[in-house]
Structure formats: C-alpha cells, structure tokens
C-alpha cells in the first residue's frame, strides 16, 4: 500500500482546516486536515525549514503540497507535507495554469529553442535582490568554484507590485548590454530565495517570461526552493532548484578542473615518457645493428637487388616489344588482305567463274529445249489437222470460224469456209439439212 500510494499518486495539493497541531521538540510537526466530510493525518518533518510553516495554527484553513504514505507501525494513512500556504490562493493557481498553457501553446517551453550554456563563462549577470541572501549565496559559490568569473549584479525588487517590470527590464538590458553601456555577459541567472506563492508571483508574470524567451544569451532560472516551480523555470534555458545551485550549474569547479588538469598532465608525461623510451630502444638497436656496419656493406644488398630488378625490367620490355611487333605484322597482313584492288580482282574472278557456269548451263538448257520442241513438233504433225489434210480430209467452218460438226448446224444462205490441203474454198448454202 505504501509503495502504491507514493508511486502511483505522488505529490498532490490538499486543502483543509488545521486541527490538533502538535509541535515536537525534534522539529517535526504533526496535525490533521479536515473539512465537513473527512480528515487526514499530516506529518511535517523539519517543519521550521519548510516553506509556509509559520501559517500553521489550529483552525486555519491551508493548502499543503504533500505526498501520500502509510505509517506502517500503526497501519495509518497519512500525508507527508513539504510546503504550506494559506487557502484562498486558488485564483493565483488558476492564473498560473492559464498562462502556462498559453505560453506552452506558443512553443516557449519547447526544448529545441533552449540555448546551451557556455562551458567556461567569463562574465555572469545576476538579476536578483541586491540585499537578499540569494545574491550572497551565488557570489560565494562563484568565488569558490570559478574565481576568474566576473559577476555583474543588476539589483531589482523580487516581490511586490511592479517588481515583474523591473525584472523584465533588467533581463532585456543585460541581454543587449552594448546598447545600454553594460558589460557583455555570457550567461544570466535570474531568481530569488524561497517564499510563498504570493512572494514568488512576480516570476509567474507574462512580461518576465517573454523577456527570458527573447533574451539572446542563455538564462538560468533559480526561483525559490526545490519544490517551487514558476513560469520562469519553464521558459528559461535551464531551471535550477535554488540560487546556489544555479551558480554551481553555471560554472565548472576550479578545484575539480585543477585536479583533472593535473591528472591529464601526469597521463601525458607518462605516455610521452613511454614513447620516448620505446624510440630510444629502437634507436639503440639500430645503432648496434644496421648503423654499426660500413656504408658499402649496408648498400651491397640493395645494389644487388637493384641490378636484378633492372635485368628483369629489360627482359620484360624486350618480350613486350616482340609481342607488339608480332601484333603489328599481323595487322599489316590483315590490312593487305583487305585492300580494295585485291578485293575487286577477287570479285571479278568470282564473277567470271559464275558467268562461265551460267553460259554452259544456258547452252545445255537450250539444247534440251530444242530437242523437246522437235519432239513435240513431230507429235503435233502426227496428231494435228495437217496429217488429216494429207489423208484427204477437210475442215468446214462458218463465217466466224466456228467448226461445223453436223449438217443440222447449216442454214440456207449461210456462208461457209472449207479448208483443204492446198487451200480454202468459200461457198453459200442453197439448201439446208
């Protein structure tokens, strides 16, 4: 149950009337919150150091920021209070949520627009109260961690009516320092110490949020304690839980840097020493080996290798030259074979041979056709009408040349032509069939 409540529910705002307040000598306070329907036990550890503890009195209506838990020894549900404020601040909270939604929709909280912090800033602008504890804490941290940093303090009011305009003006002037005759800053820290929601409200105003968003140099927001969140925290390039933490985040620790440089120096000296030692060993071996010999003996083997490589090179060149000559001669022969006059002569010879074959074939064919024609002529003479004429027959046709086969085809007055062996006789029919 304890784990479920603490993990699943987490910290919540709870409102009710204080009753049965008990302030223990250990500094832990215990009380109950109740309304007309229910009540719940509350525990506030180290109460005097918690924001708003001074408002706790029996019968006072408050809002507490607390985490639900279970007191295992008694099996009792309770809430562990981290912050207290008087009830009736719901309107401020509603304004806070409305502005947060508005600026978030405009993209002022987007991670991609946040600027990275410089690694080694030289000048840091501090926009905070000139008399509060926050300025002393930040100055001490900067002096201890990075004594080379020059802080530029721009004192402003951090609470009260109109303080938000002073804060916004300071951010804009330091963001464009050259235009206002101020030192150029690499980074700004904007914030104040802890307080109630009303005390911190100036850092929830839209004018401050837009000044931070428009600032050309990175801005760290450090408002209140770790549990306090303001609109400035969401718009700034980095949110720090406290002003002191902001100073620590803004600069590297000089002691840590010195220690790291010393370690790097030792590592570098060790590596350089090892390298020099290895090179000394190589040089000593060379002196005892190759360098201890005479120059002539040292060059003897390279000269022999050079002579061998020269001979191999000459042989390779000679072989390659012979191959090229052979290829050139082959190309010449191929070119000679392809000369036009040679090609024409070869074609003429080929045509002559083809013409001779064609003449012989034609003569043979003509003889064959003559023999066949004589044979067919003999058949024609034997079977044709000429042979019939020789035997005393004749052929009679009408005027149009139509052969008459029967007397019934003849009419009176019709002109006839009768062919004999030795001529043609024309006649007229006096009587038909």
Report the pLDDT value the prediction gives residue 216, as an integer from 0 to 100.
Answer: 95
Distance CA 82, CA 198 (A): 17
Q: Which phi and psi (to 5°) does residue 202 adopt?
A: -60, -25
Question: Rounded distance, CA 168 to CA 172, Å?
Answer: 6
Domains and CATH numbers, the chain: 2-88 (2.40.50.140), 93-255 (3.40.50.10550), 388-428 (no CATH)
Antiparallel, parallel or unpaired: β 39-44 and 395-398: unpaired
CB 149 within 8 A of CB 198: no
Tokens at 182, concatenated: 């101020």
pLDDT of the residue at 235: 96
Contact, 231 vs 164, CB < 8 A? no
Classify burial at 96, counting beta carbons within 10 Å of its beta carbon; exposed 0-12, middle 13-18, buried 19 or more. Answer: middle
Query: What's the rounded Cα separation, in Å, for the pair 290 and 278?
Result: 18
What does the alpha-carbon distance between residue 225 and residue 85 come to, in Å, rounded to a whole number? 14
CB-CB contact of 419 with 395 (8 Å): yes
> What is the predicted pLDDT for the residue at 72?
87
Angle at 253 between CA 251 and CA 254, to 5 degrees: 110
Cβ-based neighbours of 50, under 8 Å, separated by 6 or more: 44, 81, 82, 83, 84
d(CA 339, CA 160): 113
68/13 Cα distance (integer angstroms): 10
Q: Which residues of 158-170 are buried (b: 16+ CB within 10 A; e: fewer)?
A: bbeeebbbbbbbb
DSSP string, 20-51: EEEE-TTS-EEEEEE-SS-EEEEEETTGGGST
**Angle formed by the axes of helices 133-145 and 243-250, to 10°?**
30
Strands of 219-223's sheet, edge to edge? 150-155, 123-128, 187-192, 219-223, 238-239
Q: How far apart, in whole angstroms, are the C-alpha atoms of residue 215 and residue 230?
A: 18
For the chain (length 433 residues), average pLDDT per consecutive 10? 81 90 91 92 92 86 91 89 80 81 93 92 94 90 91 92 94 93 94 83 94 95 86 94 93 80 87 87 74 63 84 90 88 74 80 88 89 81 68 80 82 83 83 65
For residue 322 the two structure tokens come to 């012979």
């Amino acid at each position: 149950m304890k784990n479920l409540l603490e993990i699943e529910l987490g910290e919540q705002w709870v409102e009710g009337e204080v009753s049965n307040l008990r302030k223990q000598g250990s500094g832990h306070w215990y009380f109950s919150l109740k309304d007309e329907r229910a009540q719940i036990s509350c525990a506030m550890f180290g109460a005097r150091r918690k924001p708003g503890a001074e408002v706790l009195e029996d019968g006072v209506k408050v809002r507490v920021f607390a985490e639900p838990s279970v007191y295992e020894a008694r099996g009792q549900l309770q809430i562990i209070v981290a912050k207290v404020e008087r009830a009736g601040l719901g309107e401020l909270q509603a304004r806070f949520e409305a502005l947060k939604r508005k600026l978030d929709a405009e993209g002022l909280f987007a991670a991609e627009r946040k600027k990275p912090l410089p690694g080694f800033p030289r000048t840091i602008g501090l926009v905070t109260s000139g008399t509060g504890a926050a300025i002393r804490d930040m100055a001490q941290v900067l002096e201890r961690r990075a004594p080379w940093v020059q802080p530029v303090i721009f004192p402003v009011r951090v609470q009260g009516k109109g303080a938000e305009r002073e804060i916004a003006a300071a951010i804009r002037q330091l963001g464009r320092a050259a235009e206002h005759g101020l030192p150029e800053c690499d980074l700004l820290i904007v914030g104040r110490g802890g307080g109630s929601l009303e005390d911190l409200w100036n850092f929830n105003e839209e004018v401050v949020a837009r000044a931070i968003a428009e600032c050309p140099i990175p801005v760290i927001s450090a408002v209140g304690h770790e549990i306090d969140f303001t609109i400035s925290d969401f718009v700034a390039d980095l949110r720090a839980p406290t002003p002191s933490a902001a100073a620590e985040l803004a600069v590297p620790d000089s002691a840590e840097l010195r220690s790291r440089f010393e370690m790097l120096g030792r590592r570098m000296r060790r590596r350089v020493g090892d390298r020099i030692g290895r090179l000394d060993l190589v040089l000593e071996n060379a002196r005892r080996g190759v360098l201890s010999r005479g120059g002539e003996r040292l060059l003897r083997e390279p000269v022999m290798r050079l002579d061998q490589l020269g001979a191999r090179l000459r042989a390779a060149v000679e072989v390659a030259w012979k191959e090229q000559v052979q290829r050139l001669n082959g190309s010449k022969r191929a070119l000679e074979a392809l000369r036009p006059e040679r090609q024409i002569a070869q074609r003429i010879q080929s045509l002559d041979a083809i013409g001779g074959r064609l003449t012989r074939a034609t003569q043979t064919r003509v003889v064959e056709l003559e023999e066949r024609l004589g044979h067919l002529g003999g058949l024609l003479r034997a079977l044709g009408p000429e042979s019939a004429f020789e035997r005393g027959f004749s052929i009679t046709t009408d005027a149009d040349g139509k052969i008459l086969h029967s007397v019934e085809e003849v009419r009176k007055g019709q002109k006839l032509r009768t062919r004999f062996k030795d001529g043609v006789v024309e006649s007229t029919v006096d009587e038909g069939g």
